[in-house]
Amino acid sequence: MSSPPAIRWEGDELHLLDQRQLPHRVEYLRIDGIADAVDAIAALAVRGAPAIGIAAAYALALAARRSGDVAGVLKDGGDALIAARPTAVNLRWAVERLRRRGAQEPRAAALADEASAIHREDAAACRGIGEHGRSLIKPGGNLLTHCNAGALAVSELGTATAPMYLSHQAGVSFHVYVDETRPLFQGARLTAWELGAAGIDLTLICDNAAASLMAAGRIDLIIVGTDRVARNGDVVNKIGTLNLAVLANHFGVPFYVACPSSTFDPDTPSGQEVIIEERAGDEVRQQHAAEVAVFNPAFDVTPATLVTGVITERGIARPPLAESLFDLLIAG
């Protein structure tokens, strides 16, 4: 792998890779407080459910050290961070984890330790996802992925891409079709860039070309990431994921979701209860001259019934997902 880290915590300084500039420029934003972190998360300078959780954790630690008001930072700063992107559960999960640590040890140093632990655990989770998922990738197979659930969205290796990286390192020959992922082209700008830099064989496709590929029998496996998995196994991920799941079900293509256990949200019964972030219409209108009305949801909900399995660091949960996810990630 050769893509730069999404998050750098160096000497109590927080720097976030500005992913809006990729693939043309590699630039880091220095985060000096909660407001900077909220802006970076809301503007998608840092993105990917695990990555924004890690970034938020470090931002809280940094703000607490600089202000000395640990309780105030955790309350007000935590609320501001959670509100920056309401759909991804890792953001709230990380904030609540630092709040619990702060209640036990109201010191900025303790918060920094907790943020670093979240960062390390995410790296280990990504590797675990890769190890459990790599058996799904067969020599000569053709994969399809959507958006960016790669190294840029987490600490390293990615979630959906982790099995790809480990299979590639093991010498397995396979090919990946990468959805461009409109309207912000995370697949084209980020996934194609990082997989290509790693030497993985890939082809970039328009989002609406996936059906033709499946109809022609040219897709053997789909792996996507997710921003939240509800208690019943419903998957909330980048808009367009539901399209792929419906197509995969029709054409008999295995459809897998990859995520760390921190993305499983047992407190939310189903995807219908998840707040779906709607983003500015200009993200879509940039391709058009006319001032037209725009509907621009950032995510959609894929029903658990369309998911072949959920790849986690603890193993692969298979249907019925409501039972297997709970047994694997909570009871176990």
Residue 4 region by backbone torsions, left for phi larger than 0, else alpha for psi between -120 and 50, else beta: beta
The active-site residue out of 18, 220, 227, 265 is 227
**Contact between residue 132 and residue 223 where contact means Cβ atoms under 8 Å apart:** no
Neighbour tally for 68: CB within 10 Å: 9
Counting every residue written for the chain, the total comes to 332
Nearest to 145 by CA among 171, 181, 197, 184: 181
Question: HEC states along 29-98?
Answer: EEECCHHHHHHHHHCCCCCCHHHHHHHHHHHHHHHHHHHCCHHHHHHHHHHHHHHHCCCCHHHHHHHHHH
Rounded to 5 degrees, what are φ and ψ at 143? -105, 160
302: β partners: 235
Rounded to 5 degrees, what are φ and ψ at 26? -105, 105
Look at strands 309-312 and 264-265 and give their pairing.
unpaired
Beta strands of 153-254 (E only): which ranges? Answer: 175-179, 202-205, 221-224, 228-230, 235-238
Examine the residue annotation and report whether 207 is marked as an active-site residue of this protein.
no
**Contact between residue 215 and residue 273 where contact means Cβ atoms under 8 Å apart:** no
Q: CA–CA separation, 5 vs 97, rounded Å?
A: 23
Nearest to 172 by CA among 143, 129, 214: 143
Q: Which residues are catalytic?
A: 227
